[in-house]
Amino acid sequence: MQTLMINGQSRQVDVPEDMPLLWVLRDVLDMTGTKYGCGIAQCGVCTVHLDGQPIRSCVIPVAAVAGRQITTIEAIDETAVGQAVQRAWLEHEVVQCGYCQSGQIMAATALLQNNPMPDDQAIDTAMAGNLCRCATYTRIRTAIKSVARS
Amino acid sequence: MPMQKESTLDISRRRLLQGGSTALTGLILSSWLPPLVSKSVAAEAATAGRLGDQSIDGFGAFVRVGHDSRVTVISPKIEMGQGMQTGIAMMVAEELEVGLEHVTIQEAPPNTALYADTLMQFQATGGSTSTRYTWEPLRRAGATARILLVQAAALRWRVAPSLCRAENGRVLGPNGQNASYGELVGVAATLPLPTEVPLKTPEQFKLLGTPARRLDTPSKVNGKARFTIDLQIPGMLVASTVTCPVYGGRLRSVDDQQARKILGVRDIVRLENAVAVTASNFWACQQALKALRIEWDLGANVSIDSAQLDEALIEASSRSGVIAKREGDIEQARQQSASQFEAVYEQAMLSHSPLEPISCVAHVRPDGCDLWVGTQVPVFAQQTAARITGLPENKIQVHNQLIGGAFGRRLDFDFITQAVAIARQVDYPIKLIWSREEDMTHDLYRPLYADRLNAALDQQGRPIGWEHRIAGASVLARYIGSLPSSGVDADAVEVAVEPIYHLPNLQVRYIREEPGVVPVSWWRGVGPLRSTYALECFIDELAHNAKADPVTYRLSLMERQPRAQAVLRLLAEKTGWGQPLPAGQGRGIAVSAVFGSYVATMVELEMQGETAFRIKRLVSAVDCGLVINPTSVTAQIEGGTLFGLSASLFNEILIKNGQVQQTNFHSYRQLRISEAPPVEVHLISSLETPGGIGEAGTALIGPALVNALFAASGKRIRRLPLSRMGYYPV
Amino acid sequence: MKLTNILLAFFTGTLVAHSAQAQEDLIRQGEYLARAADCVACHTVPGGKAFAGGVEFKLPFGSLFSPNITPDKETGIGNWTDDEFVSALQKGVGRDGKHYYPAFPYTSYSKMSRDEILTIKAYLGSLEPVQQAARENDIGFPFNQRWGMFFWNLLFHDDEQFQVDNQRSTEWNRGKYLVEGPGHCGECHSPRNLFQAVSSDRSLAGNLIQGWNAYNISSDPVHGIGAWPTEVLADYLKEGMAPGWGVAGGPMAEVVEHSLRHMTDADRQAIAVYLKNTPARSEGVARPAPTTMTEKGDDNALGRKLFADACASCHRWDGSGNQSLAATLIGLKTVNDPAASNLLGMLLSGHGSRDTPVDRRMPSFGTLYNDQELAALSRLILSRFGNNEAHVSEQAVAKRRTESLH
């Protein structure tokens, strides 16, 4: 039995220790906002925050996150920055198919929480691990900058 | 008009497609043809007579108005990121006189009679046909509903309908009367359909042509949107498969002793060419799949490598094949020519790799089957499920879902077939999910192509004869079972047979060369992507050989193409074409008419060393006719262009021992934000019929990039992707 | 009569049971030693039948192929006598009187006693025979002249068995025995001289072997493992990683996989205790000093881009292992080796198999990135996480591609 702190709530899950956090979220807790894309930390769609830092939940065993603060897309609007990022995403019509956008928003929120005024290089540095096959990159950049300005 | 029952529309896929194969050819060539059916069955069935009816059987084909005045638009097109459903909602809302905020979208169930795309002759989302097909019937459906609601109000108020008008979800009477659609719908539903349904002219549009927020996006920024892979059905288990690594191979035996011991695993299901595991979660499935000891009969393809395929294709490109187009006399032109020029362009095999891996929820019961799946082809989904289960088609319910990227992948239903084949062996619903590795190695791939172009040139280096040989596997034949008796794949030769350039003595040959080692399929950009690449690179080579400016040279050959000229001129103007650049920098262009739209794209890049380069600017000029939602058009050109850039730079599926070598994003590279230049989009204001836009950008970027590379480095690369030749972006 | 029969049957049964028990113990002992000696690593091709041989050893003078050591009578060692087997392991002389090349670590195995060696034989004999003929070695003149090995042995082979040092603890002695005997650590970790013999005065000082750097594992605190806490080192031998100290990559990962992780905690502790006590050799790659995580100079935009694209998700920009302890980069020699031997090895071939836990795997990037890109990425990593401005060239990457990646 593992005790997880997800979005401020304590959740008990009875899963093998090596089960990646992603599948605990999706298949055990039915929190499907966090997506599966590659399983090898190369696409970023599974990004969640662990103690405020963006991590890839597909390659982190649940045992490694027990007791630590996990934030998922479902609760990112409880932070001021997260909410601003979501607003900017809609404002700039970033989304196309939308499958990667949970991960993009989690990565962008973490970036802006750590660096409220990221330049292009900082955006590349923080966001390059997140693939978007619809290639909404131009608008992601614009939306991040618009949050930085506000 | 009563609704036709589905049972009377029992048209098998094969019959439909064979019977309609010329029509399907029409689909592919449709950029150039008016819709084959001017007034679709569906438009007639857009029956406001059923406006208020909430039952599945009874609703209007496209529009339903509730007693609460909410408007439901039944979308015959699936949303996969292209913004189509918002566009469709706009078309209906414009004529129905409601605000977009009153509109809810619902995916259409499979029903060929109601929802077949008249351009493609079947119910599908693809080929950049969505706007072009829905443009008339969806507006007509909205207008029909509005007319009936106005008539209902007029009856209530005992005034002439002409004295009433609809506005923002209400009908207003001559004496200040005022009723909501919800109040009127009961009566409106009993009225006969109007015989005349006039549509607004563009100057009357309030909504169409203005930037509108997408309706599907709010739930995609907070994690609430559910894609197929996210669905939870009561009693459902997750299923995952490992399919024979070589296409055409078969399952010989499997030892599942260890796999069964894994916590959460329920069943091991044997299929003809795969083994499936069902379990309480995907992780357990993966653990169990790894623990299976499988013996495959790998079949005949196991001896095939990419090098053989490449070689065979190059050889094929010299063969005669069949004539797809012949104008004038190419031989005579050659005899009269001052010189000839020939080049072969090769394009790699590609995977779709949408970020949502293949997934499908299926529940098979003795009396019926439900499918919850994001598919571009709901009717085919229904038909394959019927075939596998032996149930009649009307017992198969298809609940279409949001799609997490398709790019053509979900025009196929191989995975739906597999999901149903698993589900029929168990007594609970299953959600089939493929691992990324399975997804990438069991795709249906964009085939390899080789285009051999040969021009007979006059003294000035202008073409007086033109031969284009296209060699490759036929996607169309794979998709519909065979080619028409002409032997020409209409998709493969599109654009090549109707170029925007005036090319006297034009001859196009199609050479079908089937590697057979993997199945082939539609890929964003389809035929026009392939043809445009070859044609626009070749014309660029001819311009440089003639020491002519590439823009001027092109313009001189497109006198009869005002729209193509206009986008090219606009592009030249916006990009400062002709202004000198420092050494090591260059600009390249490409222009084409694709999917009913005209697009010109320019890449400006700077070499950094021998093979590294940086894209400094990427600009597109677009005339897609009348624009429904400019926001979506711009977004599609941006995304489509970068999608094509990713493929042009990096993408290539290779085969070794019959097996796909690329397994995940560590070996199949995708463009990332750090490599994605901004895409400047310039739209031409136009009242022409709306053209397709979802694939247009994708088709233009490859040649523009390669032409820019030549301008900057003097090196002419004829084979994509550039990474194969050692080039990389910095 | 009846009783006699019963008694006889009883005694015979017990005897048989007893000897069966003894044989089983022998086999179990042999299995442990065979693991400690990592026989499987050199005698099994990837995906092939265990112990059936055929592994290629690329040496400067040609290629050797390991033989089949399953009990197949024709192609394996099924017909070998005890003496023949012992002679092979202790003297490097085969059944036919031919001398082995020292790729086969008989110089180490000679530290094992005859009895110990025979337990290995018993174990191998208990396996399923596999019929698979050995591949002919591909060695050029004069190295194909096996009789030359006679003189080599005179010069370099000291076939003395292990001598206990009574001045030292039992643990230390056990460690020394495992390191120098069955474990044959020095075969990779000690530099070899011109004649491919291990240099005794540079023992465990590190060695480049088929492209991989078998690091200095002497007790030197900067270049060796002297600074590693003993229990961290013991744990590394079990887990194949010690975050902030080292990650077993390439061939060493296989040694952990096939050999070290199967040993007892006490044996691993003994190895660690002994290694911490070997003569310090101050040569080879140094552990990086704590770094400021900034790349000196600003001219490696490509390296930065690629690290952001493909690496930062797991390794993080601070190299901290916040995502995965196994991905910790700080403190590793691998990010401080100017030749980038193991760094390139890892980038080109990845790390772990599909059975490796998800947080310890790394995909290979050898096909994704070209030589220039991998060179730039390596420079970035060395500069940021090591303290090393070495210029990894694209030629170095190209060369590394041709070397062993496992």
pLDDT tens digit sequence for B578-634: 999 999 999 999 999 999 999 999 999 999 999 999 999 999 999 999 999 999 999
**Listed residues B398, B433, B468: the one ending a domain:** B433
pLDDT score for C336: 95
pLDDT score for B38: 24
Least Cα separation, residue A29 to chain B (angstroms): 11
CB-based contact C370 B664, cutoff 8 Å = no
ipTM over 0.95: yes
Name the β-bridge partners of B107: B75
Q: Per-residue confidence at B333, pLDDT binned at 50, 70, 90? A: very high
Token pair 């069935």 is found at B45
**Same domain membership, residue B339 and residue B203:** no
Least Cα separation, residue A144 to chain B (angstroms): 12
**Same domain membership, residue B341 and residue B415:** no
Least Cα separation, residue B267 to chain C (angstroms): 22
What residue ranges of chain A are covered by domains with CATH 3.10.20.30? 2-75
**Same domain membership, residue B515 and residue B368:** no
Token pair, residue B669, equals 């590279």
Determine the residue of chain A that is closest to C357 in CA distance.
Answer: A18
Q: What angle do CA B644, B647, B649 make, to 5 degrees?
A: 105
- DSSP tag of C289: P
- Lowest mean per-residue pLDDT among B126-130, B376-380, C247-251: B126-130
**Same domain membership, residue C33 and residue C100:** yes
Neighbours of chain A (3+ CB pairs under 8 A): B, C
For residue C243, list chain A residues with Cβ-Cβ distance below 8 A: none
Given a cut of 70, whether residue B723 has pLDDT beyond it is yes
Token pair 């032409």 is found at B707
What residue ranges of chain A are covered by domains with CATH 1.10.150.120? 76-149
CB-based contact C361 A56, cutoff 8 Å = no
* SS3 (DSSP) at A30: coil
Flag whether residue A43 sits within 8 Å of chain B, measured between CB atoms. yes
Q: Per-residue confidence at A149, pLDDT binned at 50, 70, 90? A: confident
- Lowest mean per-residue pLDDT among A67-81, A114-128, B51-65, B125-139: B51-65
Q: How far apart are CA A78 and CA A71, in angstroms?
A: 10
Given a cut of 90, whether residue C296 has pLDDT beyond it is no
For residue B728, list chain C residues with Cβ-Cβ distance below 8 A: 369-370, 372-373
Q: How far apart are CA A95 and CA A75, in angstroms?
A: 19
User: What proportion of chain C, given as a percentage, has pLDDT over 90?
Assistant: 62
Q: Per-residue confidence at B114, pLDDT binned at 50, 70, 90? A: confident
pLDDT score for C2: 57
Q: Per-residue confidence at B16, pLDDT binned at 50, 70, 90? A: very low
Q: Is residue C251 situated within a structural domain?
A: yes
Q: Is residue B6 situated within a structural domain?
A: no
CB-based contact C363 B290, cutoff 8 Å = no
- Lowest mean per-residue pLDDT among B714-723, C154-163, C356-365: C154-163
Given a cut of 90, whether residue C91 has pLDDT beyond it is no
For residue B669, list chain C residues with Cβ-Cβ distance below 8 A: 368
**Same domain membership, residue B151 and residue B284:** no
Q: Select the residue from C355, C372, C374, C397 to test the B interface by mutation, using most B Cβ atoms within 10 A.
A: C372
Q: How far apart are CA B452 and CA C153, in angstroms?
A: 65
**Same domain membership, residue B409 and residue B474:** no
Cβ C288 vs Cβ C204: under 8 Å: no
* SS3 (DSSP) at B504: coil
Q: In this structure, what is the dihedral angle of CA atoms B459, B464, B465, B466, given to the nearest 10 degrees?
A: 90
CATH number of residue C323's parent domain: 1.10.760.10
pLDDT score for B129: 86
For residue A23, list chain B residues with Cβ-Cβ distance below 8 A: 281-283
Q: Is residue C345 situated within a structural domain?
A: yes
For residue A60, list chain C residues with Cβ-Cβ distance below 8 A: 323-324, 358-359
pLDDT tens digit sequence for C233-257: 999 999 999 999 999 999 999 999 9
A 10 A CB-CB count for C60 gives 8
Stretch B350-360: mean pLDDT, rounded? 98
User: What proportion of chain C, given as a percentage, has pLDDT over 70?
Assistant: 86
For residue A40, list chain C residues with Cβ-Cβ distance below 8 A: 361, 363
Pairs across B and C, CB distance < 8 A: 35
For residue A61, list chain C residues with Cβ-Cβ distance below 8 A: 357-359
Mean pLDDT of chain A: 97
- Helices C341-349 and C394-402 pack at an angle, to 10 degrees, of 60
- Name which residue leads in pLDDT, C19 or B93: B93
Determine the residue of chain B that is closest to C373 in CA distance.
Answer: B728
Given a cut of 90, whether residue C21 has pLDDT beyond it is no
Q: Which domain holds residue B519?
A: 306-349+446-729
- Phi, psi at B246, each rounded to 5°: -110, 130
**Same domain membership, residue C243 and residue C128:** no
**Distances from the Cα of B590 to the Cα of A15, B533, B579, B587, B603, angstroms:** 55, 8, 18, 10, 9
CATH number of A2-75: 3.10.20.30
CB-based contact B728 C368, cutoff 8 Å = no
Determine the residue of chain A that is closest to C316 in CA distance.
Answer: A55
- DSSP tag of B402: B
**Same domain membership, residue C118 and residue C177:** no
pLDDT score for C4: 57
Q: How far apart are CA C93 and CA C104, in angstroms?
A: 11
Q: How far apart are CA B326 and CA B418, in angstroms?
A: 44
Stretch C48-73: mean pLDDT, rounded? 86
CATH number of residue B165's parent domain: 3.30.365.10
pLDDT score for C321: 78
pLDDT score for C129: 95
Q: How far apart are CA C215 and CA C225, in angstroms?
A: 9
Q: How far apart are CA C250 and CA C211, in angstroms?
A: 10
For residue C357, list chain A residues with Cβ-Cβ distance below 8 A: 18, 61
Q: Is residue C284 situated within a structural domain?
A: no
Architecture of domain A76-149: Orthogonal Bundle (1.10)
Q: How many domains does chain B divide into?
A: 3
pLDDT score for B28: 23
Q: Is residue C268 situated within a structural domain?
A: yes
CB-based contact A23 B218, cutoff 8 Å = no
pLDDT score for B29: 21
Q: Is residue C161 situated within a structural domain?
A: no
Determine the residue of chain A that is closest to C312 in CA distance.
Answer: A129
**Taking chain A, what is the end-to-end CA distance rounded to the nearest angstrom?**
44
SS3 content of chain A, % helix, strand, coil (to 5): 45, 15, 40
CB-side neighbour CA atoms (13 Å) of A82: 20
Cβ B399 vs Cβ B227: under 8 Å: no
Mean pLDDT of chain C: 87
Q: Per-residue confidence at C163, pLDDT binned at 50, 70, 90? A: confident
Q: Residue B639 carries which side chain, given as an amino acid letter?
A: G
pLDDT score for C157: 65
Token pair, residue B649, equals 């730079």
Q: How far apart are CA C215 and CA C342, in angstroms?
A: 10
Stretch B239-263: mean pLDDT, rounded? 97
Stretch B627-648: mean pLDDT, rounded? 97
**Same domain membership, residue B573 and residue B671:** yes
CB-based contact B664 C363, cutoff 8 Å = yes
Given a cut of 80, whether residue C102 has pLDDT beyond it is no
Pairs across A and C, CB distance < 8 A: 54
Stretch B418-444: mean pLDDT, rounded? 98
pLDDT score for C155: 59
pLDDT score for C12: 57
Determine the residue of chain C that is closest to A129 in CA distance.
Answer: C309
Flag whether residue C312 sits within 8 Å of chain A, measured between CB atoms. yes
Cβ B564 vs Cβ B570: under 8 Å: no
CB-based contact C363 B666, cutoff 8 Å = yes
**Same domain membership, residue B411 and residue B539:** no
pLDDT tens digit sequence for C201-215: 899 999 998 899 999
pLDDT score for B22: 26
**Same domain membership, residue C320 and residue C220:** no
Q: Which domain holds residue C129?
A: 26-156
For residue C367, list chain B residues with Cβ-Cβ distance below 8 A: 661-662, 667
CB-based contact B672 C309, cutoff 8 Å = yes
Stretch B406-416: mean pLDDT, rounded? 96
Flag whether residue C308 sits within 8 Å of chain A, measured between CB atoms. yes
Stretch B517-528: mean pLDDT, rounded? 96
Neighbours of chain B (3+ CB pairs under 8 A): A, C
Q: In this structure, what is the dihedral angle of CA atoms B220, B221, B224, B227, given to the nearest 10 degrees?
A: 30
For residue C305, list chain A residues with Cβ-Cβ distance below 8 A: 124, 128
Least Cα separation, residue A92 to chain C (angstroms): 24
CB-based contact B664 C367, cutoff 8 Å = no
Q: Select the residue from A27, A48, A72 to test the B interface by mutation, using most B Cβ atoms within 10 A.
A: A27
Given a cut of 50, whether residue B688 has pLDDT beyond it is yes
Given a cut of 70, whether residue B12 has pLDDT beyond it is no
Q: Per-residue confidence at B67, pLDDT binned at 50, 70, 90? A: confident
**Listed residues B433, B458, B488: the one ending a domain:** B433
This prediction's pTM: 0.90
Q: How far apart are CA B62 and CA C106, in angstroms?
A: 82
pLDDT score for C10: 57
Q: Which residues touch C128 (CB under 8 Å, ≥6 apart)?
A: C70
**Listed residues B162, B189, B218: the one ending a domain:** B218
The β-bridge relationship of strands B659-660 and B655-656 is antiparallel
* SS3 (DSSP) at C341: helix
CB-based contact B672 C367, cutoff 8 Å = no
Secondary structure element (H or E) that encloses residue B347, with its range: strand B339-347
CB-based contact A99 B678, cutoff 8 Å = no
Flag whether residue A98 sits within 8 Å of chain B, measured between CB atoms. yes
pLDDT tens digit sequence for B277-313: 999 999 999 999 999 999 999 999 999 999 999 999 9
Determine the residue of chain C that is closest to B663 in CA distance.
Answer: C363
What sections of B488-624 are H helices per DSSP? 526-545, 550-556, 562-575
**Same domain membership, residue B429 and residue B465:** no
**What's the gap between Cα B133 and its chain centre?**
14
pLDDT score for C56: 84
pLDDT score for B181: 94
**Same domain membership, residue B494 and residue B427:** no
**Same domain membership, residue B637 and residue B550:** yes
Q: Per-residue confidence at C149, pLDDT binned at 50, 70, 90? A: low
**Same domain membership, residue B333 and residue B213:** no
**Listed residues C132, C156, C180: the one ending a domain:** C156
Name the β-bridge partners of B279: B238, B265
- Lowest mean per-residue pLDDT among B92-96, B667-671, C343-347, C352-356: C352-356
Neighbours of chain C (3+ CB pairs under 8 A): A, B
CB-based contact A128 C324, cutoff 8 Å = no
Cβ B74 vs Cβ B64: under 8 Å: yes
**Distances from the Cα of B42 to the Cα of B30, B141, C284, angstroms:** 19, 9, 78
CATH number of residue C175's parent domain: 1.10.760
Q: Is residue C121 situated within a structural domain?
A: yes
Q: How many domains does chain C divide into?
A: 3
pLDDT score for B515: 85
Given a cut of 50, whether residue A112 has pLDDT beyond it is yes
Stretch B54-64: mean pLDDT, rounded? 55
**Same domain membership, residue C383 and residue C338:** yes
CB-based contact A58 C358, cutoff 8 Å = yes
Cβ C234 vs Cβ C272: under 8 Å: yes
Secondary structure element (H or E) that encloses residue B712, with its range: helix B696-713
CB-side neighbour CA atoms (13 Å) of A99: 32
User: What proportion of chain B, given as a percentage, has pLDDT over 70?
Assistant: 92
